[in-house]
Amino acid sequence: MDIAKLLSRGRPSICATTSNQLIAGIEYSPLEEQCNFSYGRVWRTWDYSYPLSPHLPLKEGQAPYRVIRDHLLNLLPEGEARGQAARRYQLSHANACAMAVYLCREPAGAVGFDLDVEELSVPDDRPPVVRELPTAELSKRIRRRGTIPFAFWDDVFYQSLAGVQDKLQVRLDGDDLQLVGGCLNSSHILKPEPHGQSTRRMVANEHFCMSLARAVGLPVANVEIRRVPEPVLLVERFDRARNIIRNPEMVERVHTLDACQALGEHPFFKYECPEGHGRGFRERRIGIGFREMFELDRHFMVPREGRMAIVRWALFNMLIGNSDAHAKNFSLFQNRLGIMPAPAYDLVCTRVYDMGSEMAMAFGNAFLVEDVVAGDLTIFAEEADIALDTLVEELKTMATAVRAHAPILAKSEVYTQQERTLVRKIATSIEGRAIHLLKVASVLPGQA
């Protein structure tokens, strides 16, 4: 069905667009859990087009409501920001399509959503909106987050990103920060310290873990710490790019999706044990684990390279003590030919805090790093479809590298004295996990 016909039938509908092209129309009836989805004829036949996800292929015909709903839900912010937006716009949390219109004008990836269907306008047709973000004002808003929603500035929502943590989409103009809209896209994500005392100095924690990942050779997003004077982490978006040839000042969107979207799953299943651990739930592994992650192999443009990216991501998160490395914290680039892993992000040591120790995905059959035994390495290698010797070599290489780089990075002058105390504690814990995993690997045949 052509988009124009779909959107002219008088039913609730939204359109999906890139910055400069109409992609698809979505006609929905949330109460009946029905949805009509149709790619535009021009988009389907364009040489450089791409599907929204592997589960929404470029072809004529309809997609099930559940597939559309889950894809949109994975784009939405979580936690308090989503609740604030729902109250502000008087939206039902169950209406994924309406939430996408209000909260996903510039979401992760290249595709946004809008109700402006009469003229079928796209963002590039709109006038630029630039709102300067002075340091003093940013500092004040960080301190007043308990009373003023951090995602709203001048009654405009600037957190069209999944996740629970407070963040802002900003554009970096020289050294100046800006909030942008209209035909303009953000270039960075700004993350202040989380509320409360339970995860203190998270900015330094994430900066350290991301810097360590880069030092050991993992592709990661660029990060820097700014002080306003409150510390904030500035993360360069890998789903945005400057067009050096056409206009270096223009930030363009690059299509990405998270592993939940790539697997066609509801965000509830981002953890392998979404019901939690203990109290009889430990073995209910109904969510996304590494077995499911490696099933992305059939969509990878270069299957072995894609699988090895997952392997290295898993090993690094295990070494740094990141128990929150779930499926929505793994992103992929999508084009017409398939998908490939994007740079890593949200790398933190959660074990340094008084939080759950169980990993988001079991390594073999172990949810705790200290419970990993040789048999778990064998299971993981089988799931990854790689030789056990290859996995052991990757583990040895990465464990040796983090042990070498972590103590040096922990001494960096970029951190305050209190932050340095924390990252040194993280570095020490990494040393312990590396020694344990190397010992586990050493008992395998031929590894003594």
Number of H helices, E strands in the chain: 13, 17
Q: What is the pLDDT of residue 31?
A: 63
* Section 22-41 average pLDDT: 78
Q: What is the pLDDT of residue 150?
A: 86
Evaluate if residue 306 carries a pLDDT over 90.
yes
Q: What is the pLDDT of residue 436?
A: 97
- Length in residues, the chain: 448
Q: Regarding predicted confidence, which is higher, 287 or 98?
A: 287
Residue 365 CB contacts under 8 Å (≥ 6 apart), including other chains: 375, 376, 379
Instruction: Provide the percentage of residues in the chain whose pLDDT is more than 90.
Output: 60
* Section 96-123 average pLDDT: 77
Q: Which of 231, 211, 205 is nearest to 223 (CA)?
A: 211
pLDDT digits (tens, 9 = 90+) for 371-424: 999 999 999 999 999 999 999 999 999 999 999 999 999 999 999 999 999 999
* Section 290-314 average pLDDT: 98
Give the residue extent of every domain in the chain.
Answer: 3-124, 126-241, 254-442
Evaluate if residue 98 carries a pLDDT over 90.
no
Q: What is the pLDDT of residue 321?
A: 97
Evaluate if residue 112 carries a pLDDT over 80.
yes
Q: Which of 311, 272, 313 is nearest to 292 (CA)?
A: 272
Whole-prediction pTM? 0.93
Instruction: Using pLDDT thresholds of 50, 70 and 90, give the confidence band for residue 279.
Output: low
Evaluate if residue 9 carries a pLDDT over 70.
no
* Section 88-102 average pLDDT: 80
Q: Could you give the strand order of the β-sheet that contains 331-335, starting from the edge strand earlier in sequence?
A: 256-258, 331-335, 338-341
CA atoms of 245 and 331, how far apart (whole Å): 27
- From residue 241, alpha-carbon distances to 7, 62, 247, 406 in Å are 31, 32, 11, 30
CA atoms of 259 and 136, how far apart (whole Å): 38
Task: Give 231's strand partners.
Answer: 227
Give, in degrees to the nearest 5, the angle at Cα 366 between 264 and 165: 55
* Section 261-288 average pLDDT: 86
Find out whether 93 and 99 touch, Cβ atoms under 8 Å.
Answer: yes
Q: What is the pLDDT of residue 90?
A: 85
Instruction: Using pLDDT thresholds of 50, 70 and 90, give the confidence band for residue 20.
Output: confident
Q: What is the dihedral of CA 366, 368, 369, 371, to 10 degrees?
A: -60
Q: Does the domain at residues 254-442 carry the CATH identifier 1.10.390?
A: no
Evaluate if residue 308 carries a pLDDT over 60.
yes
Q: Regarding predicted confidence, which is higher, 391 or 36?
A: 391
pLDDT digits (tens, 9 = 90+) for 176-225: 999 999 889 999 999 999 987 788 999 999 999 999 999 999 999 999 99
Q: Which of 118, 125, 103, 95 is nearest to 8 (CA)?
A: 118
pLDDT digits (tens, 9 = 90+) for 130-144: 999 999 999 999 999
DSSP notation for 325-353: --GGG-EEEEETTEEEEPPB-----GGGS
* Section 321-339 average pLDDT: 96
pLDDT, mean over the chain: 89
Q: What is the pLDDT of residue 275?
A: 87
Evaluate if residue 172 carries a pLDDT over 90.
yes
Residue 281 CB contacts under 8 Å (≥ 6 apart), including other chains: 273, 275
Q: Which of 134, 246, 239, 135 is nearest to 187 (CA)?
A: 239
